[in-house]
Amino acid sequence: MHILRTILLLFSIQVFSQNKNDLSLEFEKIINQHSNRVNLKKINTFFKQKQWDSTLVHSYNLLKKTKEEKLLNYIYYLRARSFKKKNVLDQSLEEYQSILSDFPFYYYVRGAIGEIFLLQNKYKKALNIFLDLEKNYTNIKYKPEESAIYENIGLCYFHLSKFKKSEKYLLDSNSLLEKSKDTLRLIYSYINVANVYYEQYMDNEAIPFFVKAYELSKKTSNFKIKRKAALNMAVVEENRKDLVKALVYRKEFEKWKDSLNNQNKIWAVAQVEKKLAVAQKQKQINLLEAENKLKVSQRNGFFISSILLILLLTSGFFLYSQKSKANKIITTQKDELNQLNKTKDKLFSIVSHDLRSSVDLLKKSNSHLLTEIKNRNYNTLGDIVNKNAAIANSSYNLLDNLLNWSTMQTKQLYFHIESVDLFSIIQQVSFNYQPLFDAKKITFTNKIASGVFINADIDSLKIIIRNLLDNAIKFSNENDTIIIYNFSTKNNLESLVIEDTGIGMSEETVKDLLKDTTLLNKKRNQEEIGTGLGIHLCKTLIEKNNAQFKIESIKDMGTKMIISFPKSN
């Protein structure tokens, strides 16, 4: 009597189980070397968290933006793996086949393509790939799992009805897996070997492997494997006519089936019970806190009543002595309030005027743009669009400075002084200004030395640099130069210099800008829109960073903005 054919179940084994860390480290290097590393890290995180849809969406967006072959190989690889996990085999195969042969883990890719062919019942194509992996195995740097290659070759031969070759490779794979003590994969291997014998009606050879798979399944928590192993043994005993044992295995099969179906429900119930326990514990804590507050209140009430009489006797003298001081404080606060109101009125008056001017200028420019388009005078469109972009950028910077100024005035701006890499910050900020440099044909150079660290608040430092860079661009002519560099001073300070070769300022204007009382200054460059709020904001933020500010400028020759920060140890 032979084992029933319903027992047949073959398992293909992935070749990726070895050297995962090598691939992950290589991809981390690629991320750190690439300018778009924020998006790459996001994609890598989604992939590690097995969020396949998010990996595919974000990688597709990045795929359209990059042409770097080395990076494209890794993106195709992550997409192929994600499609494979979602069982979209045709798309996974297409992504794998887009990877170039210079990919360091190309033999992983070849193995994965072979697995897809195996799942698609293209056994000859799969066999050719796995035999090539076996042939070149000693020359491969990042080696796939050898036992997996043998296992998949054996499965290909099995489906091609070449049972002797299938038996050889499956037993070789089984031998390697027994040494590695990989329980789950060893169960798969036992079942595959058993089915090779079973297909040839060699029941006496097949049954011991089914028994091994069943005994080993007791050591795993995988309900699916437990079910398959129990079902195999039930069929074995039915064929042996031992119906009592067969019934025992059938019941075990049903038990694991129920366990598999209920596993998710059990986890859901466990989560609900956990939340309920936390809520009950929090309720107890809240009750104890209320009781403690009541006890403290009673104790404090007695203490307060004891000293109340003393306070009443001394309050008269205290109030009288403080009256004169209070009058002085009120007078000072009134003066400060009046000054703040004047500053506020002046600020809103000029900001509203400049915003209205910028919007009006933008309207006129757009009207001019429409006229030129209507007249098909396309040669002038580039200049008009660049002018509109400059107006919009100036208006945006004005609003951004106003927001930062109001945040600072209401004491909502959070400062955290820490050690900051100056070169990195300059690179980050200047990157966003490259289109503005290009629009004015300005040559920008970052000469900050590497390894220079200062003590500063990162967010406010970026605001300072953005404003000073924006001013340097505004007051530079076409083909001018902007250079950022640093130098050390004797007072343990590190000076950051933003130097331009623009229109410069008079000595009187420089003195006015450095005065604490100067809030707003109009620009003499009529093509630019501004309020001087940026310089005032910079001075305040520089002071809060314990830094020093200095301006050096020569009219029609350029300007140096110098900020000296404390050095970081």
**551 within a domain of the structure (yes/no):** yes
Q: Which amino acid is at 399?
A: L
User: 238-247, 296-305, 484-493: which range is least confident on average?
Assistant: 296-305
* Backbone dihedral angles phi then psi of residue 166, each to the nearest 5 degrees: -60, -45
When computed from its CA atoms, the radius of gyration of the chain, rounded to whole angstroms, is 38
Mean pLDDT, the chain, rounded, equals: 79
CATH of the domain at 500: 3.30.565.10
**72 within a domain of the structure (yes/no):** no
Q: Is the pLDDT of residue 349 over 60?
A: no
Q: Which domain holds residue 497?
A: 406-566
Position 419 confidence tier, pLDDT thresholds 50, 70, 90: very high
Rounded average pLDDT over 532-537: 78
Is residue 478 within 8 Å of 443, Cβ to Cβ?
no
Comparison of pLDDT for 512 and 283, the residue scoring more: 512
Is residue 501 within 8 Å of 476, Cβ to Cβ?
yes
pLDDT of residue 188: 84
**521 within a domain of the structure (yes/no):** yes
Comparison of pLDDT for 265 and 159, the residue scoring more: 159
Residues near 6 by beta carbon (within 8 Å), at least 6 away in sequence? 235
Q: What percent of the chain has pLDDT over 90?
A: 17
Comparison of pLDDT for 524 and 156, the residue scoring more: 156
Residue 529 corresponds to which tokens in the numbers above?
A: 């829109």
Q: What is the pTM of this model?
A: 0.44
**483 within a domain of the structure (yes/no):** yes
**503 within a domain of the structure (yes/no):** yes
pLDDT of residue 270: 45
Rounded average pLDDT over 353-374: 70
Rounded average pLDDT over 468-476: 90
**46 within a domain of the structure (yes/no):** no
Per the structure, how many domains does the chain have?
A: 1
pLDDT of residue 6: 39
Is residue 446 within 8 Å of 427, Cβ to Cβ?
yes
**465 within a domain of the structure (yes/no):** yes
Position 355 confidence tier, pLDDT thresholds 50, 70, 90: low
User: 114-123, 150-159, 200-209: which range is least confident on average?
Assistant: 200-209
Position 569 confidence tier, pLDDT thresholds 50, 70, 90: confident
Q: Is the pLDDT of residue 438 over 90?
A: no
Distance CA 462, CA 53 (A): 35
Distance CA 101, CA 93 (A): 15
**431 within a domain of the structure (yes/no):** yes
pLDDT of residue 442: 92
Q: Which amino acid is at 142?
A: Y
